[in-house]
Amino acid sequence: MTTMRVLTTSFIALATLFAGCRDEELTNLAGGVTGQVCNPVTGRPAGGASVTADWVNPFTEKAGSKDTEADENGFFRIGGMPVTTATLTIRNEEFENQLQVDVIEREDVQLVDPACRDLPGEPGMGELVGQICNRHTGEYITEGTVTVLLASGEELVADIQPDGSFVMPDVPVGVHVVYVQAPGFQKTYQIEVLEGGQTLLEDQVVDCEPFDELSTGMIVGSICGPSDTGEGGPLAGAHVYVVQPIDGIVYESWSLEDGTFAIAGIPAPQTGLQVRAEKGGFVYTWPDVNVFTLADAPDGTNVTASVDCQELVPDDDRRYLVVQGTFDKIEQVLSRMGLTNVDLLEGVPMDPSELWSTAAFANFDTLSTYDAVFVNCGISETDLVLGLNPAVKENLKRYIREGGSLYVSDWAYDLVEQVWPERINFLGDDSVNSDAEHGEDGDYGVEVLEPGLADYVGASNVTIGFSFGNFAIVSLLDPTVTTYLRGDVGYRVNGGVSTLNDVPVTVGFSDGFGRVIFTSFHQETNDAGETETLDGPEDLVLRYLIFSL
Residue-wise pLDDT for 82-121, tens only, equals 999 999 999 988 778 888 999 998 888 888 787 775 544 4
Query: Which pLDDT value is given to residue 28?
Result: 47
Q: How crowded is residue 312: how many other Cβ atoms within 10 Å of its Cβ?
A: 22
Whole-angstrom Cα distance, residue 211 to residue 217? 8
Average pLDDT, the chain: 83
Cis amide prior to 352 (ω within 30 degrees): no
Q: Is the pLDDT of residue 3 over 70?
A: no
DSSP string across 198-251: EEE-TT--SS-----TTTEEEEEEEEE---SSSPPPB-TT-EEEESS-BTTB--
Sequence-distant (6+) residues with CB within 8 A of 499 are 488, 489, 490, 491
Task: Check residue 11 and give its pLDDT.
Answer: 39
Picking from 283, 234, 286, the residue whose alpha carbon sits closest to that of residue 260 is 234
pLDDT recorded at residue 77:
92
Query: Which residues have C-beta within 8 Å of that of residue 123, sequence separation ≥ 6?
Result: 195
Q: Give the pLDDT band (50/70/90) at residue 349.
A: confident
DSSP 8-class letter at 328: -
CA 455 distance to own-chain centroid: 20
What is the amino acid identity at position 377?
C
Distance CA 175, CA 452 (A): 16
CA dihedral in degrees (437, 440, 446, 450; nearest 10)?
10
Q: Are 360 and 345 in contact (CB under 8 A)?
A: yes
Three-state SS at 141: coil
What confidence score (pLDDT) does residue 41 get? 52
Cα dist from 279 to 315, 324, 455, 509, 519, whole Å: 10, 25, 15, 16, 20
pLDDT of residue 287 exceeding 80, the answer is yes
Instruction: Name the 3-class secondary structure at 367.
Output: helix
pLDDT at residue 40, rounded to an integer = 63
Q: Mean pLDDT throughout 523-545? A: 69
- The confidence score (pLDDT) of residue 119 equals 45
Predicted local distance difference test score (pLDDT) of residue 548: 80
Give the model's pLDDT for residue 17: 39
Question: Which amino acid appears at position 241 of this protein?
Answer: Y
What domains, with CATH codes, occur in the chain?
A: 2-112 (2.60.40.10), 125-200 (2.60.40.10), 216-314 (2.60.40.1120), 320-547 (3.40.50.880)
Residue 364, pLDDT score: 94
State the pLDDT confidence band at 277, using cuts at 50, 70 and 90. very high
Classify residue 491 as exposed, middle or buried by CB count within 10 Å of its CB (0-12, 13-18, 19+).
Answer: middle
| Predicted local distance difference test score (pLDDT) of residue 191 | 82
Which neighbouring-strand residues pair with 448? 485
Provide, rounded to the nearest whole percent, the portion of the chain with pLDDT above 70. 87
Higher-pLDDT residue of 29, 362: 362
Position 22 pLDDT exceeds 90 = no
Between 535 and 22, where is the model more confident? 535
Looking at per-residue pLDDT, the higher value among 94 and 478 belongs to 478
**Of the listed ranges 36-45, 83-92, 104-113, 327-336, the one predicted with least confidence:** 36-45
Q: What is the pLDDT of residue 120?
A: 41
Please list, in sequence order, all residues whose beta carbon lies within 8 angstroms of the beta carbon of residue 390, skipping any fewer than 6 positions away.
none
- E strand or H helix at 262: strand 260-267
Cα 89 to Cα 38, 53, 255, 372, 393: the distances in Å are 12, 7, 59, 61, 53
pLDDT for res 72: 85
Would the pLDDT of 537 be above 90? no
Out of 16-30, 319-333, 375-389, least confident range:
16-30
Find all residues with CB under 8 Å of 411, minimum gap 6, and list them: 325, 327, 377, 378, 379, 381, 434, 437, 471, 472
Instruction: Give yes or no for residue 284 having a pLDDT over 60.
Output: yes
Angstrom distance (rounded) from CA 259 to CA 239: 11
Task: Look at residues 47, 194, 175 and name the one whose alpha carbon lies nearest to residue 123.
Answer: 194
Reported as type and span, the H/E element at residue 18 is: helix 2-29
User: Is 337 in contact with 314 (CB distance < 8 Å)?
Assistant: yes
- What whole-number percentage of the chain has pLDDT above 90? 36
Per-residue model confidence (pLDDT) at position 511:
86
Mean pLDDT of 272-281: 91
Q: How confident is the model at residue 231 (pLDDT cuts 50, 70, 90)?
A: very low
Confidence of residue 42 (pLDDT cuts 50, 70, 90): low
Give the separation between CA 302 and CA 286, rounded to whole angstroms: 11
**pLDDT category, 23, cuts 50, 70, 90?**
very low
3-state secondary structure of 413: helix
Mean pLDDT of 373-399: 91
pLDDT at 9: 39
According to the model, what pLDDT value does residue 267 have?
A: 94
Mean pLDDT in residue range 297-308: 92
> Distance between terminal CA atoms of the chain?
110
User: Does 141 score more than 70 pLDDT?
Assistant: yes
Strands 50-56 and 85-91: antiparallel
Mean pLDDT to the nearest integer, 354-381: 92
More confident site: 227 or 488: 488
pLDDT at residue 516 tops 60: yes
3-state SS, residue 368:
coil
CB 514 within 8 A of CB 401: yes
Mean of pLDDT values over 144-172: 83
